């Protein structure tokens, strides 16, 4: 499977600019590309509580529809982040769009500080089968919680796609996290981040990456705009899970015990 990571500098609240650059990237992807991945909220940038009503669109709105047409014309799948308006409720959403339409929608479940008061958190994880591989999606801050990728692993994920809007000084945090999430779940992970400046003097950290099911980096971008193409060797999924499978070998039913020092406090037994 050939994946293109499109690391761009977006403009917050400028959908026309972001959409034009997105469509251009899809139109110029390699002829044999299977999947093109963009950053978090790529189409609208990051809205505020004051303008989210004007910026966010439904998934059947003009921007997502334009991406669907581009994906169909190029016969390629696209993963792209949007500010979603669902009947007046707003979500930080990423969609997997195939030539047939939206195959998977994920609403960010762990809201970063600047998301709160703007977006409503999502309430579920999901995976979808596409071209024989089961795909799951996470968004930015989500990957700092092992439980998120584990939830996708329990749903059979073999490829975890992360749309990212991670800023300085947290680039190293997500570099570590994406490698750990892939290794823990013995799955490929593809993370695509934004670069350049954003509102409120944010500087986005780049560092888009692909990680194999052993937790090893296959590629890593710098801090500038770029496009990287990686061929995923799906046989590595079998190799990583040949001798042991973390999901099958977990022992979660054992009791836990927190031992306190003998200073008058009781020992606590957690069933």
Catalytic residue numbers, as ranges:
40, 108, 140
**Quick check: 255 and 270 in contact, CB under 8 A?**
yes
3-state DSSP assignment of residue 228: strand
Name the E strands within the chain. Answer: 2-7, 35-37, 77-86, 89-98, 101-107, 127-130, 133-139, 159-163, 188-192, 195-198, 202-205, 209-211, 217-220, 226-231, 256-258, 268-270
DSSP 105-172: EEE-SS--TTTBTTBPPP----EEEETTEEEEEEEGGGGGSHHHHHHHHHTT-SEEEEE---BTT-HH
d(CA 56, CA 11): 14
Which residues are registered as beta bridge partners of 258?
Answer: 268
Dihedral angle at the C-alpha atoms of 220, 223, 226, 232, nearest 10 degrees?
A: 10
């Amino acid at each position: 499977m050939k994946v293109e990571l499109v690391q761009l500098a977006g403009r917050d609240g400028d959908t026309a600019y972001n959409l034009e650059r997105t469509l251009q990237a899809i139109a110029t992807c390699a002829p044999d590309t299977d999947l093109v991945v963009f950053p978090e909220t790529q189409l609208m940038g990051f809205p505020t509580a004051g303008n989210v009503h004007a910026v966010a669109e439904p998934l059947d709105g003009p921007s997502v529809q334009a991406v669907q047409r581009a994906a169909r014309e190029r016969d390629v799948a696209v993963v792209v982040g949007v500010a979603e308006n669902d009947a007046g409720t707003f979500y930080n959403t990423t969609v997997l769009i195939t030539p047939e339409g939206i195959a998977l929608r994920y609403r960010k479940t762990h809201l970063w500080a600047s998301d709160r008061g703007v977006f409503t958190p999502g309430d579920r994880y999901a995976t979808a089968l596409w071209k024989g591989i089961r795909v799951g999606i996470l968004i930015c801050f989500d990957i700092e919680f092992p439980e998120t990728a584990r939830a996708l692993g329990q749903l059979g994920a073999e490829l975890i796609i992360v749309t990212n809007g991670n800023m300085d000084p947290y680039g190293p945090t997500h570099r570590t996290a994406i490698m750990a999430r892939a290794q823990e779940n013995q799955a490929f992970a593809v993370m695509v981040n934004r670069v350049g400046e954003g509102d409120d003097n944010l500087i986005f950290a780049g560092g888009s990456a692909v990680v194999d099911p052993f937790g090893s980096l296959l590629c890593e971008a710098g801090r500038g705009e770029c496009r990287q193409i990686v061929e995923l060797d799906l046989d590595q999924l079998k190799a990583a899970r040949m001798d042991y499978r973390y999901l099958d070998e977990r022992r979660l039913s054992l009791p836990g015990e927190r031992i306190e020092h003998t200073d008058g406090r009781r020992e606590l037994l957690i069933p």
